[in-house]
A = this chain, B = another copy of it.
């Protein structure tokens, strides 16, 4: 594969496949576009949870146990913030806090989120291009039985417990596709939807005006590949399965495939779900059965390799 790859990613699952792709592809062949629907302002600082997860993962700094945050981080600033009686339900490590401080400083100096992300990645030695989906704010808000909750409030503060009835991407209508993202869609030989939550991670990316439309009308030489984050009827991690059920969708890789209809050519399902391949086929998607559970770095590289092989040489 000597063509260009565009990976769309959200949190920890997305970061795993993004790492696999980055291990195989040289710098100029991979662009990773990341969900910013979870971005939040904590203590006056701009926090971009998914951008950080991808950045820390590619920099080799991520906490391997959690899949997010920094390895060996401490939480002393948070202890002090607690003394000032502010909400500290969002876990901010001391090393991690430095990222948010620096990001906020650069944004206030007038840099776009794309430019800030480029600067932070460069300093941490991340060589592949990592982009936010948009330089404008888009906020994923879940309507639940206890009210409307921004993504991190739902996910971290309430531990994904409230029952979800709908999801909105607030601000999406006036957001613009990040400039290099638009170019990456046009340039990509393969577009990969990483195994991220289709509603909370990929949904916000698709909600940015023009993204879904441009992904729907690609050239015949371009290939769109999505990887199911649902394996054996359950999410590998996170609330994807719970939310699918609450929204009335089928909790299976087939239910995920439905969200990608019209913007996907190949749909990757886990070996556990091989029996569902005919259902995927009937939806007009080409099923690819592969091991999708990525525990080791070798798993990540293997899955990335299987996807890249779809284009041959």
Contact = CB atoms under 8 A, between A and B. Distances in A.
Interface of A: 43-45, 70, 73-74, 76-81, 83-86, 93-99, 101-102, 104-105, 108, 119-120, 123-124
A108 B77 contact: no
A117 B209 CA distance: 44
A76 B73 CA distance: 8
9 contacts: A43-B102, A74-B74, A77-B98, A77-B101, A78-B98, A79-B95, A79-B98, A81-B102, A83-B123
Given A86-B102, A101-B44, A94 B80 contact: yes
B124 A95 contact: no
A55 to B, nearest CB: 11
A301 B112 CA distance: 54
A110 to B, nearest CB: 12
A93 B45 CA distance: 18
A85 B45 CA distance: 19
Q: Mostly helix, strand, loop or mixed at chain A's interface?
A: helix
Nearest to A99: B80
B43 A105 contact: yes
Given A84-B98, A123-B85, A124-B83, A44 B77 contact: no
Given A81-B102, A84-B124, 20 more contacts: A44-B101, A44-B104, A73-B76, A74-B74, A74-B94, A76-B76, A76-B95, A77-B77, A77-B94, A77-B97, A79-B95, A80-B96, A80-B97, A80-B99, A81-B98, A83-B124, A84-B98, A85-B123, A97-B97, A97-B101
Nearest to A119: B84
B81 A94 contact: no
B123 A94 contact: no
A283 B99 CA distance: 56
Contacts of A102: 43, 81, 84, 86
Nearest to A80: B98
Of A44, A73, A101, A104, the most chain B CB neighbours within 10 A belong to A101
Contacts of A85: 123
A77 B95 contact: yes
Contacts of A76: 73-74, 76, 93-95
